[in-house]
Amino acid sequence: MQFKTLLKTLPLLMLAAGLGSAAHAADVKLGLAAALTGPAAKYGVAIKNGFTLAADEVNAAGGVNGNKLQLIIEDEQGKKEEAINVFKKLIFKDKALLVFGPTLSNSAFAADPIANAAKVVAFGTSNTADGITAMGPFTFRNSVMEADVLPVTTRAAVKHFGIKKVAIIYGNDDAFTKSGYDVFKGTLADQKIPVTTTEAYAKGDVDFKAQLTKIKASNPDAIVCSCLTEEAANIILQTRALGMKQPFIGGNGLNSPKLFDIAKGAGDDTIMGSPWSPENLTPANKAFIAAYKAKFGSDPDQFAAQAYDALHVVADALKKIKLSGAIDKDRIALQQALPSVTIEGATGKFAFRKAPAVTGKEVGYDAQQEAIVNIAKGGKFILLK
């Protein structure tokens, strides 16, 4: 080979061998366990989109300290057993620096202990049940717990409709719907709103006529529903079929466009609390909504917004640390850098707050964020003013 040709080819050879400056940077592997199939996929696909959008943005801007973020995405199907399998794969096989997810609190209670034992951060973006962050110091969430959202939501609904008494319906075999029920029960007692009857259903139920007939006979002014979207939508539809006109009050689980895909106009007047609203026109939220629409051709929801923000929170934490390449050390450094991160994201101002103390145990971090109360009008949620 002529010297001149060698000179020309050398940079290419160096790049191929990983010696070029661009190839010095390593990928930071971040795991995502999300429900991409099954009934919870309504939330999980939005979550995946939010993460993908944010990671692409961070990488397009050069990555973090010169490192590109690599998302390793696995489908946990909204099932506990699959969440455990996926966490094990991401932590032990893929050696992810951190794991986002799983989608449901119900799955988080099964999978997060694995992350805490392995000293890897499990970062929930949609887990709102009580007790999630009591699992250990490596459990973080930026999802606002029902305990913070429901009192504000209930107070606003009572005022808006002049509610004197309510009936409750909830799923009694899911950690999120059960926890939401417990919070509603305490909230209604605090706000002195009598409960006319309390009815329960099980995961996968499609016929709620028996429970709704009892609710109808108890003549409430509104129906409190601690439910996931699909069940909530069917409950609302069947309520109207029984000739009942009461408005619904719910939490996080109701905040999906899927509610209206199924319930259509019957979902109108449902009141729901969430940290995110498409009408919150801050520069960060406007940019997020526009970028999401451009990339996916559809409107984002709360779950996409929280996933998007979570990636930016972790990117900020990564900026504060120097990765050593020793995975165990780097995982702990990330856990220690996270609590002080604050951002102004799609969901507004965000900070962590240490979870309530549990004797004899170290705890993780909850979201410190305000809830926004929304009302459904014309098949979508708008701000309740």
Give me the residues that bind ligand 1QQ (CB under 6 A), please. 43, 103-105, 126-129, 176, 228, 252-253
Smallest separation (angstroms) from ligand 1QQ to the CB of 146? 7
Name the phi and psi angles at 49, rounded to 5: -60, -45
Cβ neighbours of residue 281 under 8 Å, at least 6 residues apart? none
- Residue 139 or 331: the one with the smaller Cβ distance to ligand 1QQ is 139
Residues β-bridged to residue 271: 249, 375
Alpha-carbon gap, residue 2 to 36, rounded angstroms: 55
In whole angstroms, give the CA distance from residue 198 to residue 211.
9
Closest separation in Å from C-beta 240 to ligand 1QQ = 23
Per-residue buried b or exposed e for 13-46, using 16+ beta carbons within 10 Å of the residue's own CB: eeeeeeeeeeeeeeebbbbbbbbbeebbbbbbbb
Sequence-distant (6+) residues with CB within 8 A of 283 are: none
Closest distance to ligand 1QQ from the beta carbon of 303 (Å):
6
Beta carbon nearer to ligand 1QQ, 57 or 130: 130
Q: How far is the CB of 114 from ligand 1QQ (least distance, A)?
A: 18
Nearer Cβ to ligand 1QQ (42/331): 42
DSSP per-residue letters across 363-384: --EEEE---EEEEEETTEEEE-
CA 181 and chain centroid, separation: 19
Give the shortest CB-13-to-ligand 1QQ separation in angstroms: 49
Token digits of residue 245: 């006109």
Q: What's the min distance (Å) between Cβ of 117 and ligand 1QQ?
A: 22
224 contacts: CB under 8 Å, gap ≥ 6: 154, 166, 167, 168, 169, 184, 188, 248, 249, 250
Q: Which is nearer to ligand 1QQ, 28 or 223 (CB)?
A: 223
d(CA 91, CA 77): 18
> In 3D, which of 312, 366, 299, 239 has the Cα closest to residue 51?
312
Smaller CB separation from ligand 1QQ, 216 or 258:
258
Let me know: does 124 contact 366? Beta carbons within 8 Å.
no
What is the DSSP secondary-structure string of 125-193?
A: SS--STTGGGG-TTEEE-SPPHHHHHHHHHHHHHHHHT---EEEEEETTSHHHHHHHHHHHHHHHHTT-
Q: How far is the CB of 47 from ligand 1QQ (least distance, A)?
A: 8
Judged by CB, which is closer to ligand 1QQ: 104, or 271? 104
Residue recorded with tokens 């926004």: 372
Residues 6 or more apart in contact with residue 60 via CB below 8 angstroms: none
Q: Which is nearer to ligand 1QQ, 104 or 121 (CB)?
A: 104
The least CB distance from residue 355 to ligand 1QQ, in Å, is: 15
Nearest residue (CB) to ligand 1QQ, 146 versus 269: 146
CB of 140 vs ligand 1QQ, minimal distance in Å: 14
Pure H helices in the chain: 3-16, 21-24, 41-60, 80-88, 105-117, 146-161, 175-190, 209-218, 229-241, 258-263, 283-296, 302-319, 327-337
What is the closest distance, in whole angstroms, from the C-beta atom of residue 228 to ligand 1QQ in the complex?
Answer: 6
Q: Identify which of residues 226 and 239 has a Cβ nearer to ligand 1QQ in the complex.
A: 226
Nearer to ligand 1QQ by C-beta: 30 or 254? 254
